[in-house]
């Protein structure tokens, strides 16, 4: 029902998984271990499951093989597009091994009568287009569609579409309008983000025939483009309701005319002045041509729509990065797998039993198979008492680290981490732990604001109850309700809040209601997004108004609790439990 991890994906997730007509699932990739030093150590493999993704077997691939393919519904043949940039040492081992015999960069089309039968491959374009998704066969007409991205001579990345009306024999290239580039730096930021807009497009055909493309951008949201003529022309991209930055979106058509969205509903830390970072930076990072460190790729989300994308439900975490708290996050995996460590790339398939199998992540350290029931996205409540430790929360801090891409040592665009808020023995019960949020100033950290981030089903009207105990000597705490994942240590988290309530060092909430120090209390937060109304209540006391700071198009789905102390606060606040209940269905 709820997401369950069933294995480690053998390659960065986005187009190497396929579902066969008999229910067999395959994911192609490579066998890599800690001692791997480069592509010469790669062993192309395929992982197979015959029980709906619960168990996997691994088999080597010893002969040329095109890997995962898509079956064309109207002729039952199999097809895939690969791009080859002229390097044999890229991330995607099976594809590059397969294409290594081709000397010329370009786009290649491979077709076969069966996934394991003989196949033919031909070059269809001499351009170095980057294709990161399987071909989409349309349902309304017999057309094959594939999104691509490309980089022009000015290093600007944009997107487009390839389509074929003759079952892949010939292809037409459609260049699409790129989203506008964000300011560099953005207001309130000390430096530029990695400036790229309109890459890694994912395209989904809605039941009414509309094509919806989501695009990865450097803005705070995915941008979207619409086609109403089956991919011939596309609208100018506009901001979508999916918050994200520099991460890969996913859109998947499910049975019952439902649409599943998989993406990182996250916001990165504000950019710092890249000229002042430890070790210095080259002009590529200073000018926004490259990334210094990703801080928003540790939570992957899902939402579902039953009305052609007009409304969405869920906005729930399907996977948290298992390495999100690691002190050696940057260099944990050395050799060929030193690059990105995240849960931001994804590919999903609906299984015959109605479950969804998700392949997610980058790096063998973080990649996972996740199995879940789409009905889980329609749940209306959630409860957390830390009986599973920190499995369902984010609480990490970032160490100042070498930033940017590969610099002669392992690591890529990442900070090392450590836990901030920590579990401590319950002061009154031997069988329980509580979460302690305080502040321990440390000049080695990017930000030492300790916090906890907890996700629940998105609701336009609902209630959150927090069982807490403020310890005497605490400097204060802020409770935020919002519609996206915000870093636990984000110093400007309140700027993304729909609702924010603070308690000061005396236990007084918003200068209105008092909670006795060193005693357990229940803080109740209520909201109604349609009426832009919010209240808070301590125990059974008066229900008091809270400011509704920012509207939301998706409902409230996150509780963010963070210290407000500007200095040392070892006492902080203890959390015993958190509970959310939806009052009206989205």
Compute the distance between CA of residue 517 and CA of residue 432 in angstroms, rounded to an integer: 21
How high is the pLDDT of residue 89? Answer: 45
How high is the pLDDT of residue 85? Answer: 67
How high is the pLDDT of residue 426? Answer: 94
How high is the pLDDT of residue 279? Answer: 63
How high is the pLDDT of residue 188? Answer: 76
Q: Any idea where the domains of the chain sit in the sequence? A: 4-379, 396-584
Question: What are the residue ranges in the chain where pLDDT is below 70?
Answer: 32-42, 85-103, 153-155, 278-281, 333-338, 406-411, 584-586
Q: Where are the beta strands (DSSP E) in 143-265?
A: 144-151, 157-164, 172-175, 197-205, 211-217, 221-227, 238-243, 250-254, 258-263
Q: Which of 180, 181, 178 is nearest to 195 (CA)?
A: 181
Q: Domain spanning 396-584 has what CATH number?
A: 2.60.120.560
CATH number for the 4-379 domain, one of 2.60.130.10, 2.120.10.10, 1.10.3720.10, 3.40.50.920?
Answer: 2.120.10.10
* C-beta neighbour count of 565 within 10 angstroms: 23
Residues 6+ apart with CB under 8 A from 566: 475
Residue range 86-117, pLDDT digits in tens: 554 444 445 555 555 566 788 999 999 999 98
Compute the distance between CA of residue 399 and CA of residue 514 in angstroms, rounded to an integer: 36
How high is the pLDDT of residue 276? Answer: 75
DSSP 130-170: B--S--EE-SSSS-EEEEEEEE-TTS-EEEEEEEESSTTSS
How high is the pLDDT of residue 61? Answer: 87
How high is the pLDDT of residue 40? Answer: 55
How high is the pLDDT of residue 449? Answer: 94
Question: Each residue of 494-519: b (16+ CB within 10 Å) or e?
Answer: bebbbbbbbbbbebebeeebebebee
């Amino acid at each position: 029902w709820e997401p369950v991890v069933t294995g480690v994906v053998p390659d960065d997730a986005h187009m190497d998984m396929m579902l066969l007509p008999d229910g067999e699932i395959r994911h192609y990739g490579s066998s890599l271990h800690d001692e791997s030093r480069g592509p010469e150590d790669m062993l192309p493999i395929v992982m197979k499951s015959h029980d709906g993704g619960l168990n996997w077997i691994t088999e080597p691939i010893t002969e040329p093989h095109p890997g995962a393919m898509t079956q064309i519904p109207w002729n039952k043949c199999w097809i895939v597009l690969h791009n080859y940039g002229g390097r044999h040492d890229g991330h995607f081992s099976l594809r590059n091994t397969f294409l290594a015999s081709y000397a010329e960069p370009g786009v290649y089309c491979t077709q076969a009568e069966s996934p394991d039968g003989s196949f033919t491959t031909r070059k269809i374009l001499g351009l170095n287009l980057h294709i990161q998704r399987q071909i989409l066969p349309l349902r309304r007409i017999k057309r094959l569609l594939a999104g691509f991205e490309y980089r022009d001579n000015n290093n600007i990345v944009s997107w487009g579409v390839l389509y074929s009306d003759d079952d892949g024999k010939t292809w037409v290239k459609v260049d699409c309008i790129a989203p506008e580039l964000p300011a560099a730096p953005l207001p309130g930021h000390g430096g530029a983000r990695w400036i790229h807009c309109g890459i890694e497009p994912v395209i989904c055909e809605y039941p009414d025939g509309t094509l919806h493309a989501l695009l990865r951008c450097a803005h705070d949201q995915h941008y979207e483009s619409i086609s109403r003529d089956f991919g011939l022309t596309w609208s100018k991209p506009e901001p979508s309701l999916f918050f994200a930055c520099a991460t890969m979106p996913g859109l998947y058509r499910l049975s019952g005319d439902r649409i599943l969205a998989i993406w990182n509903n996250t916001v990165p830390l504000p950019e710092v002045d890249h000229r002042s970072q430890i070790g210095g930076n080259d002009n590529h990072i200073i000018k926004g041509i490259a990334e210094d460190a990703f801080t928003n790729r540790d939570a992957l989300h899902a939402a579902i729509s039953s009305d052609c994308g007009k409304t969405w439900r869920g906005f729930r975490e399907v996977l948290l990065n298992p390495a999100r708290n690691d002190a050696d996050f940057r260099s944990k995996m050395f050799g060929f797998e030193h690059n990105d460590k995240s849960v931001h790339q994804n590919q999903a398939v609906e299984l015959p039993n109605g479950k969804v199998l998700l392949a997610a992540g980058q790096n063998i350290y973080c990649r996972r198979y996740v199995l879940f029931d789409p009905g889980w996205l329609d749940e209306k409540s959630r409860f957390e008492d830390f009986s599973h430790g920190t499995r369902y929360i984010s609480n990490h801090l970032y160490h100042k680290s070498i930033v940017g891409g590969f610099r002669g040592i392992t690591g890529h665009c990442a900070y090392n981490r450590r836990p901030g808020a920590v579990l401590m023995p319950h002061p009154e019960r031997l069988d329980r732990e509580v979460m302690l949020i305080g502040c321990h100033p440390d000049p080695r950290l990017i930000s030492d604001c300790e916090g906890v981030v907890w996700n629940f089903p998105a609701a336009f009207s609902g209630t959150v109850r927090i069982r807490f105990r403020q310890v005497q000597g605490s400097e204060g705490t802020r409770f935020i309700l919002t519609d996206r994942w915000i870093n636990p240590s984000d110093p400007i988290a309140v700027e993304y809040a729909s609702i924010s309530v603070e308690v000061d060092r005396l236990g007084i909430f918003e200068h209105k209601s008092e909670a006795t120090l060193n005693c357990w209390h229940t803080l109740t937060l209520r909201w109604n997004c349609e009426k832009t109304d919010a209240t808070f209540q301590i125990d059974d006391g008066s229900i008091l108004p809270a400011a509704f700071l920012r509207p939301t198009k998706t409902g409230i789905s996150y509780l963010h609790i963070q210290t407000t102390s500007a200095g040392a606060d070892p006492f902080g606040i203890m959390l015993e439990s958190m509970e959310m209940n939806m009052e009206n269905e989205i």
